[in-house]
Amino acid sequence: MNRPSTETRASAAGLGAPGSQTLARGLNALQLIASSPNGMSVSQVADDIGVHRTIAYRLLSTLAQFRFVTKGDDGRYRPAAALAVLGASFDNNVRQLCVPTLRSLADELGSTVSLLVAEGDQQVAVAVLAPTNVYYQMAFHEGSRYPLDRGAAGIALLASMPPRPNERALVPQTRLRGWVITHGEIEPNTYGLAVPVHRRLPAPPTCINLISHREDVVLSGRPAVMAAAHELSAVLS
């Protein structure tokens, strides 16, 4: 589960103007619920954001009133319809448009594939698809964030941008050949293959990323990933 960081939780629970503090806590609670497949209880939310149970209950009740979360018969809160509508508005619903291509690619290669975009100095996973018949799961989820200068995806995203001073040698190489492979930069003992997805401005730099513990899977999967990136370039243009 990709939960908000300790620093984020501390900021939400710390001192500040009452209005901004309440908003920060509410957004933090919403992030927690959105990243919890099995839902969360009031007590769990309270513990995670560092507030009294009564405050957590008020926050969740407000979110439920606006249909961002819903309370189940088991007393646990889960994402609701308004959150889906809000998410769909991101980057012109890019996730929904890309899922069919990514699903097909993941099942074809038997490996996890993802779509990432650049956001400031970070890379953000907006879609992560594991193979249908997978028996394990890597610690990589939608919403995962990593520094932009790490891993195959980060390099591919940088390669989609104008040249910067002191770039890693892999970045201009990726601009020329259209793909990049790295090992162990995000997940230990894991290979990453990333291919830029070409989009028109003002869309953010975007790429497809394939991750696997096996080098042969990454090497043999490169043509399929490049074909998928070409397909998404057309879909998202």
CATH code (residue 35): 1.10.10.10
pLDDT of residue 1: 41
Domain boundary among 56, 71, 87: 87
Total structural domains within the chain: 2
CA dist 150 to 62, 63, 141, 181, 188, Å? 38, 35, 17, 12, 13
Scan for tokens 């209950």, then name that residue. 57
pLDDT of residue 67: 83
Q: Which domain holds residue 123?
A: 90-235
Please tell me whether residues 82 and 111 are part of one structural domain: no
Q: Over the chain (237 residues), what is each successive 10-residue block's mean pLDDT? A: 44 53 89 84 93 93 89 89 63 80 94 92 90 70 86 97 93 96 92 95 92 94 97 90
Please tell me whether residues 122 and 179 are part of one structural domain: yes
Scan for tokens 């990049």, then name that residue. 180
pLDDT of residue 207: 97
pLDDT of residue 66: 87
Which of these, 137, 116, 133, 113, lies nearest to 217 by C-alpha position? 113
Please tell me whether residues 26 and 137 are part of one structural domain: no
Distance CA 80, CA 59 (A): 15
Q: Is residue 228 part of a domain?
A: yes
Q: Is residue 1 part of a domain?
A: no
Please tell me whether residues 81 and 94 are part of one structural domain: no
pLDDT of residue 19: 62
Q: Is residue 198 part of a domain?
A: yes
* The pTM of the whole model exceeds 0.75: no
Tell me which DSSP letter residue 206 carries. E
pLDDT of residue 74: 93
